[in-house]
């Protein structure tokens, strides 16, 4: 697939990628006391900046009017209603009854703008904070976080994409080791982890492989060592028997909690995200696909909101209950919004000119509303304080809340020029 003049290959972080980016964890993690001590070390003192990110990615472009910025009673609402929330004066679209109760923990950016109205290009911008360029693949937000905040004592990848969809997050010029490891519905087992033979037989196969590889390595010197193949095999062996793999398994959670998240793949994905963050994973992306409502907009959004609302709300409650929300930033957004006017098919088309995102968690001020979508259906609100915010400003805000400098640069290979972690400016109203 070609994107902006260069090849944009889909991530292929399967078993090999998994093994490449996972390291052998400390034995202490295998005991309850060790787990607790490691978790405390990860979280740090109460004043420490957050260390993890959960991205709820709404693939397809959700309507701002049917989600986070309803304008009930106006022509552009086309019948969509609104409900009050725990944050006085802030409304959400009808259907967000669960999230409404959590709005004292959530802030909204209602004045996002973008120049990308295509799904692939808009997704690239949304996940990397950069528009596509020829000759370079920018790292996603999760890859940057994993690169700058390396984790310790964990045998699973630090960057995970659940229900990854067509364009999961990439490591870009930071390296394939920062690609998101892809898993589907957490109801299923993690792929390529369970041995197909008994452990003694597996050990014998690995011993045989070592003999073959030793013969192959003769005379090839550092070229073979440079592949780090033996390290990969050792890490694979460690990971296949690691206790950390259980973080993907949501079936061990209480039935009541699983029901609260939602009996669907996205709900289970959000529950798995909490478990993975609790285990020490840096960034988890959970995708809810299907928001592309060129026809039957209202019915499509009703179905999707019915999945997003309980999962998002329960995730926030669950993180708070476990004292994880102050260490975790939760960002919910899609690649663009939908047109204020309905088309003849009762749908809304692509609208990058004014849309929304929701954000919560450590380092982010709660209960803030930044800007608004134009109640008259215009493209943007240019008057202060409703000044439009670019997608890269959201990235800069998350990085700043994590204690990172968005303007820090890294020289990208191929193009050989310094590129900032983010080209945006932090949204100061959102920083605690």
31 falls within a domain: no
**Degrees to nearest 5, angle at CA 311 with 305 and 313:** 95
The number of distinct structural domains making up the chain is: 1
| Token pair in block for residue 180 | 């998101």
Distance between CA atoms of 30 and 261, rounded to whole angstroms? 28
**pLDDT per position as a tens digit, 239-270:** 666 777 889 999 999 999 999 999 999 999 99
Q: What confidence score (pLDDT) does residue 189 get?
A: 84
241 falls within a domain: yes
**pLDDT per position as a tens digit, 357-413:** 999 999 999 999 999 888 888 886 554 445 899 999 999 999 999 999 999 999 998
215 falls within a domain: no
Specify the pTM. Answer: 0.84
| Full residue range of the structural domain in which residue 147 is found | 2-26+51-194+227-430
Distance between CA atoms of 155 and 239, rounded to whole angstroms? 6
Contact 381, 354 (CB under 8 A): yes
- Type and span of the H or E element at 411: strand 409-412
Largest CA distance in the chain: 77
Distance between CA atoms of 234 and 376, rounded to whole angstroms? 61
Kindly report the length of the chain: 432
Q: With 70 as the cut, is the pLDDT of residue 229 above it? A: no
- With b for 16 or more beta-carbon neighbours within 10 A and e for fewer, the 141-155 pattern comes to bbbbbbbbbebebbb
Distance between CA atoms of 192 and 163, rounded to whole angstroms? 17
Lowest mean pLDDT among 8-17, 182-191, 285-294, 362-371: 8-17
Q: With 90 as the cut, is the pLDDT of residue 172 above it? A: yes
Sign of CA dihedral 303, 106, 77, 393: negative
199 falls within a domain: no
Q: Tell me the CB-side half-sphere exposure of residue 21, using CA atoms within 13 A.
A: 28
117 falls within a domain: yes
Which of the four pLDDT bands, split at 50, 70 and 90, describes residue 42?
very low
- DSSP helix/strand/coil, 188: coil
| Token pair in block for residue 408 | 């820090």
94 falls within a domain: yes
149 falls within a domain: yes
Cα pseudo-dihedral 395, 186, 197, 218, rounded to 10: -10
32 falls within a domain: no
| Token pair in block for residue 135 | 């000759």
DSSP, res 49: P
Over range 121-126, report the average pLDDT: 98
What CATH code is carried by the domain that includes residue 365? 3.40.720.10
* Burial of 366 per CB tally in 10 Å (0-12, 13-18, 19+): middle
Distance between CA atoms of 239 and 248, rounded to whole angstroms? 13
């Amino acid at each position: 697939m070609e994107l902006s003049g260069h090849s944009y290959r889909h991530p292929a972080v399967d078993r090999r990628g998994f093994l490449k980016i996972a390291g052998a964890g400390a034995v202490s993690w295998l005991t309850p006391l060790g787990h607790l001590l490691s978790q405390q070390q990860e979280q740090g003192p109460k004043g420490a900046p957050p260390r993890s990110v959960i991205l709820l990615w709404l693939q397809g472009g959700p309507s701002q009017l049917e989600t986070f910025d309803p304008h009930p009673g106006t022509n552009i609402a086309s019948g969509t209603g609104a409900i009050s929330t725990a944050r006085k004066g802030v409304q959400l679209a009808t259907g967000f009854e669960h999230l409404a109760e959590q709005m004292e923990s959530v802030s909204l950016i209602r004045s996002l703008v973008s120049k990308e109205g295509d799904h692939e290009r808009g997704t690239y911008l949304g996940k990397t904070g950069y528009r596509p360029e020829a000759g370079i693949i920018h790292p996603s937000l999760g890859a940057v976080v994993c690169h700058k905040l390396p984790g310790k004592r964990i045998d699973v990848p630090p960057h995970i994409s659940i229900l990854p969809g067509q364009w999961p997050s990439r490591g870009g010029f930071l390296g394939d080791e920062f690609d998101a490891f892809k898993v589907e519905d957490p109801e299923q087992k993690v792929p390529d982890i369970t041995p197909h033979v008994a452990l003694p037989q597996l050990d014998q196969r690995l011993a045989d492989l070592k003999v073959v590889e030793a013969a192959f390595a003769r005379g090839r010197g550092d070229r073979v060592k440079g592949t780090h193949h033996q390290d990969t095999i050792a890490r694979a062996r460690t990971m296949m028997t690691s206790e950390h793999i259980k973080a993907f398994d949501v079936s061990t959670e209480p039935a009541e909690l699983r029901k609260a998240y939602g009996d669907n793949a996205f709900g289970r994905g959000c529950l798995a995200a909490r478990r993975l963050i609790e285990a020490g994973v840096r960034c988890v992306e959970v995708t809810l696909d299907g928001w592309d409502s060129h026809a039957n907009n209202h019915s499509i959004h009703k179905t999707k909101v019915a999945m997003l609302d309980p999962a998002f709300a329960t995730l926030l409650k669950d993180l708070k209950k476990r004292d994880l929300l102050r260490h975790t930033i939760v960002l919910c957004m899609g690649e663009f919004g939908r047109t204020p006017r309905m088309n003849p098919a009762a749908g809304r088309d692509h609208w990058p000119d004014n849309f929304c995102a929701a954000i919560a968690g450590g380092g982010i001020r709660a209960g803030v509303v930044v800007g608004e979508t134009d109640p008259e259906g215009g493209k943007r609100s240019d008057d202060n304080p409703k000044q439009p915010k670019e997608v890269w400003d959201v990235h800069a805000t998350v990085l700043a809340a994590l204690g990172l400098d968005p303007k820090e640069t890294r020289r990208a290979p191929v193009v050989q020029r310094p590129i900032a972690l983010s080209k945006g400016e932090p949204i100061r109203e959102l920083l605690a």
